[in-house]
Structure 1
Amino acid sequence: MPIATRAFAAVAADKPLEPFSFTRRDPLPDDVVIDIQYCGVCHSDLHMARSETGPAHYPLAPGHEIAGVVAAVGADVTRFKVGDRVGVGCMVDSCRECSSCQAGEEQYCIPGFTGTYGAKDRFAEQSGQPITQGGYSDHITVDQHFVLSIPDALPLDAAAPLLCAGITTWSPLKEWNVGPGSRVAVIGLGGLGHMAVKLAHALGAEVTVLSTSDRKKADAERMGAKHFLINKDKAAMKAAAESFDLIINTVSATHEIADHVQLLARDGTMVMLGLTTEGLPVYALPLLWRRRRVAGSLIGGIRETQEMLDFCAEHGIACDIETIAPDQINEAYERMERSDVRYRFVIDMAKLPQAA
């Protein structure tokens, strides 16, 4: 029998999120049913809820930074048991057969991975839902392959955003071999940026934060940044030319990046993580002159995400969060648009209103 589920969902692009009830599938043999305790609020949730990244299917319960406890398991589940502390990130399925999936890079699944919310649900017949519904809810059913173990050393509320903000920044740091001696700059100290600073510092890098003002300088230094650079200061930007091996660009709005490319040393790379929908001009000569690169990176695979969680537990790293009740989500979205959060909202799903 499908599992009755309470949630907060977007019902239209121009309307606030509101309470929503639906059903999840009963566990199939490889499924894990999770009682969701906390769900982080990602900027992409806002984009999806408002149909800013393409037409959305409503009602839509966002949320892909999920932390909770196993409530039930299918007959063939071997990795988890009832009571385990677990998480779910941005994916709940993939083809498992393409070269990317076989390499443990499910986020680059060639046919395309199944997003935790807003994607066509191949289990629609069992769940009664044509699309996947996310973590702004009290339960979720997920194939064990896409469930992560949250170490006991990590608080569930502060661990939830690691399932997106943590892995999104960890993956490029590992791909570009950041370690002792690396010089890393982070553009933007928000939900992604503050995790990039913490992780790069823990990996041994010398970290610089680039921002439009010094409003968050003390926070950046507390998180491990050694330097803080105002990118509106032309003299300071000129003095910092050719200083960095890697720039992690977390800005989600249209912004200037051509001048920032000049900050890269020879063979340096700027990795784009922000979800921008407009073109950002980059000129060939600065790239050619120092063999620089502009690249992109998308979350991380399941194996890599578990490695990140274990690393965070070992080094005492978690997100800086502000916990909210589900009925505060619309206010949280408004504050996110004003960059008024330090540094991730997390919804306490225990405060979901009871069904009428």
Structure 2
Amino acid sequence: MIKAYAALAPGAELRSFEYNPGELGHDQVEIAVEYCGVCHSDLSMLDNQWGMTAYPFVPGHEVAGRISEVGSHVTAFKVGDRVGLGWNSGYCNQCACCMTGDHNLCSDAEGTIVGRHGGFADHVRAQATSVVKLPDDLPMDVAGPLFCGGVTVFNPILQYNLSPTSRVAVIGIGGLGHLALQFLRAWGCHVTAFTSSPDKHDELLALGAHATLDSRSKDALKAATGSFDLILSTVNVGLEWNRYINCLKPRGRLHFVGALMEPVQVNIFSLMAAQRSISSSPVGSPSTIATMLDFAVRHNIRPQIELFAMKDVNKALAHLRNGSPRYRIVLKHGELEEANADV
């Protein structure tokens, strides 16, 4: 039996939950969870904002742990290996996307917390193809957030062959944005952080920004007209996007990695006149995750985390819901205690 924490209804508190995972698939591995990041997507799924949550719902898709069991056809892992698991827990491994290394674009990709139970548990299972070994020099407590937040902001750097001489700006310096600043700075880019809080200037410079720009100031945005090759948006709220598009250079790109639910209202002439573009991307493939982990180790890139005991999962979710983490929450697994009544 796997011991976990689950919600029985949208927005409900998580309670102790056990389930029988059945026989391990021949192409699967089982991971003994040691740490699991708490992502805003866990909240979105908990609240069924995307209309695809099945209950009982066990969140958790930023897993770091050790292999505890391997399927009969698995040769890439052995018991005891340090590994991580992100948003996707399986792929068809046959379509054109999978065969060209773009597993994250597979139309049949399985979500770690979509229709199955995730990593707020003592163990979690996944197809071996979706699991990535951790570099020896990467501490396990900070590894989990890299498997979702980290690769989400790193993926477009690779996908669009971003030049190290590019001038890049980041909107939203939170769980995703604080990692974006670090990756872009290490990549060699000149990095600007859009912020509505000028008093965060020194903090944002310490995270990797070369400069900050007050996003509430129309004059500051106007002065930045034509400044950036790429603007990376990590927010999930609507903004006056035309003002940001005007900050792009000719052929510049406004790229969305935040899960914005409302339509993006833009003036097509601001795109057409300077051949600018708008794009978006999901998390990265296992290959991209492995590349990102190696890059993070080489450049000492780490998420800033706040640790909670797994039994305090509801406190951690409330902390995230209030928008106050600096900057990622990670659950540390211990003995699963009954913080609430059994379900």
Q: Normalising by the residue count of structure 2, what TM-score does the alignment of the two structures yield? A: 0.95
Alignment-derived partner of residue 129 in structure 1 = none
| Structure 1 contact 189–216 (Cα < 8 Å) conserved | no
Q: 1:211 aligns with which of 171, 195, 219?
A: 195
Which runs of 5 or more structure 1 residues have no equivalent in the other structure? Answer: 120-131
1:90 has 2:74 as partner: no
Matches of 2:65 and 2:23 in 1, distance apart? 17
Q: Which runs of 4+ in 1 moved over 3 A?
A: none
Q: 2:121 aligns with which of 123, 137, 155?
A: 137
Q: 1:305 aligns with which of 289, 292, 302?
A: 289
Q: Can you list the C-alpha shifts for 1:298-328, whole angstroms capped at 9, x where unaligned?
A: 1011111111111111211121100112243
1:280 has 2:264 as partner: yes
Alignment-derived partner of residue 171 in structure 1 = 155
Q: Normalising by the residue count of structure 1, what TM-score does the alignment of the two structures yield? A: 0.92
After TM superposition, give the deviation of residue 218 of structure 1 in Å: 2.4
Matches of 2:52 and 2:89 in 1, distance apart? 21
Alignment-derived partner of residue 321 in structure 2 = 337
- Amino acid aligned to 1:115: G
After TM superposition, give the deviation of residue 185 of structure 1 in Å: 0.5
SS, match of residue 222 in structure 1: helix
- Amino acid aligned to 2:68: A
Matches of 1:5 and 1:41 in 2, distance apart? 19
Q: 2:113 aligns with which of 112, 117, 125?
A: 117
After TM superposition, give the deviation of residue 23 of structure 1 in Å: 2.1
Give % identity: 38
Alignment-derived partner of residue 64 in structure 1 = 61
- Amino acid aligned to 1:7: A
1:226 has 2:205 as partner: no
After TM superposition, give the deviation of residue 215 of structure 1 in Å: 4.2
SS, match of residue 169 in structure 1: helix
| Structure 1 contact 13–50 (Cα < 8 Å) conserved | yes
| Structure 1 contact 8–137 (Cα < 8 Å) conserved | yes
| Structure 1 contact 183–206 (Cα < 8 Å) conserved | yes
Of the structure 1 ranges 32-41 and 206-215, higher mean CA displacement relative to structure 2 is found in 206-215
| Structure 1 contact 25–141 (Cα < 8 Å) conserved | no
Matches of 1:153 and 1:213 in 2, distance apart? 35
Alignment-derived partner of residue 18 in structure 1 = 15
Matches of 2:273 and 2:16 in 1, distance apart? 55
Matches of 2:133 and 2:273 in 1, distance apart? 45
Matches of 1:214 and 1:354 in 2, distance apart? 43
Evaluate the alpha carbon distance shift between residue 342 and residue 76 of structure 1 in structure 2; reply closer, same or farther with a 3 A threshold. same
- Amino acid aligned to 2:4: A
- Amino acid aligned to 1:164: C
RMSD between superposed Cα atoms in Å: 1.6
After TM superposition, give the deviation of residue 180 of structure 1 in Å: 2.2
Q: Can you list the C-alpha shifts for 1:219-255, whole angstroms capped at 9, x where unaligned?
A: 2211210001110011111111111101110001233
Alignment-derived partner of residue 5 in structure 1 = 2
Matches of 1:228 and 1:41 in 2, distance apart? 28
Alignment-derived partner of residue 72 in structure 2 = 75
- Amino acid aligned to 1:91: N
| Structure 2 contact 37–62 (Cα < 8 Å) conserved | yes
Matches of 2:215 and 2:286 in 1, distance apart? 35
| Structure 1 contact 184–248 (Cα < 8 Å) conserved | yes
Where does 1:260-271 land on structure 2 (aligned, <5 Å)?
Answer: 260-271=244-255
Alignment-derived partner of residue 99 in structure 2 = 102
Matches of 1:246 and 1:259 in 2, distance apart? 14
- Amino acid aligned to 1:335: H
Alignment-derived partner of residue 255 in structure 1 = 239
SS, match of residue 138 in structure 2: coil
After TM superposition, give the deviation of residue 133 of structure 1 in Å: 0.5
Alignment-derived partner of residue 243 in structure 1 = 227
Matches of 1:140 and 1:215 in 2, distance apart? 42
Q: Can you list the C-alpha shifts for 1:70-118, whole angstroms capped at 9, x where unaligned?
A: 11222322111111110011111122111111111111113x3110012
SS, match of residue 198 in structure 2: coil
After TM superposition, give the deviation of residue 26 of structure 1 in Å: 3.4
1:318 has 2:302 as partner: yes
- Amino acid aligned to 1:105: D
Alignment-derived partner of residue 125 in structure 1 = none
SS, match of residue 45 in structure 2: helix
Of the structure 1 ranges 284-293 and 345-354, higher mean CA displacement relative to structure 2 is found in 345-354
Matches of 1:354 and 1:152 in 2, distance apart? 34
After TM superposition, give the deviation of residue 336 of structure 1 in Å: 2.3
Matches of 2:84 and 2:35 in 1, distance apart? 10
Q: 1:31 aligns with which of 23, 28, 33?
A: 28
SS, match of residue 44 in structure 1: helix
Alignment-derived partner of residue 122 in structure 1 = none
Matches of 1:138 and 1:192 in 2, distance apart? 26
How many pairs align? 340
Evaluate the alpha carbon distance shift between residue 19 and residue 254 of structure 1 in structure 2; reply closer, same or farther with a 3 A threshold. farther
After TM superposition, give the deviation of residue 341 of structure 1 in Å: 0.6
